[in-house]
Structure 1
């Protein structure tokens, strides 16, 4: 019991220090939110990515570009997760190309990635945090799996055969629809 209390007390003392020591990467002025330094305090968010967008003449353009870049970064994380999981099901030596996460049409299919936070530094750089809330995780993981299978369709059909490829794709689509 005493060890648990000591660990909790230490965590409570260190947490504010972490937030106070967080500064924007583009300047030493001001204190940044903890998430800018990678300390995300939400337990219901997964596949998070933080993006910095330098100052632009138009604030709305800066915000749109930063949001799109953050969502693309989250999509790339989902694709990498799908590749890791799919590699375990494929013959050794199989290589999978990752689809372009910046493709605007592909991004549109990943409905459920959210902009969670935004913050402007004293130098007017915009920092955006995006991620996937818990209720969307499985559906978006399956979407990433479908995208990955479609991107590598020809190579996979040659490696594992049409019927096994169709089974993988069918499983991914069925899981996504649930």
Structure 2
């Protein structure tokens, strides 16, 4: 297992493309988000971390800032993000989890998304067993945390959704109960 450092002139996507399962990627304070085409896709079970409050401002709006996609029914460990502070700058979401399970978000912040800060999207594989520890979602036009249909075993510990335009606290969980007549 190796450690990769993303510095001022590096492309985060290029570093992610080199990484292998179990590697760590550290995003330094000097990282310049304009070095990448967005969204950045994470498709390997790795750990990505940054210093607290190292704001990554996505330079242009798009479908998402970070897409976590393991292309199938993975087993632990999933992708782990630590202290990733993302200004989505009008992208649909700051973090989109699709076709990935067992992802961990620790101390992350999602803000200024056109829709949801964190989007757990059901594509071919429901977003199961994802965990959020002390994550925040601020000033998103939708909900802070949006969990799509058929997700289960999602854990939130100490998370906050503040100032989002979505319903209530910014959490919107949609589920269908099969066989009970509810829908």
Q: If the TM-score is normalised by the length of the shorter chain, which range does it land in?
A: under 0.3
Q: Which of 1 and 2 has greater Rg?
A: 1
Structure richer in strand, relative to its length: 2
Structure richer in helix, relative to its length: 1
Q: TM-score when scaled to structure 2? A: 0.23
Q: TM-score when scaled to structure 1? A: 0.23
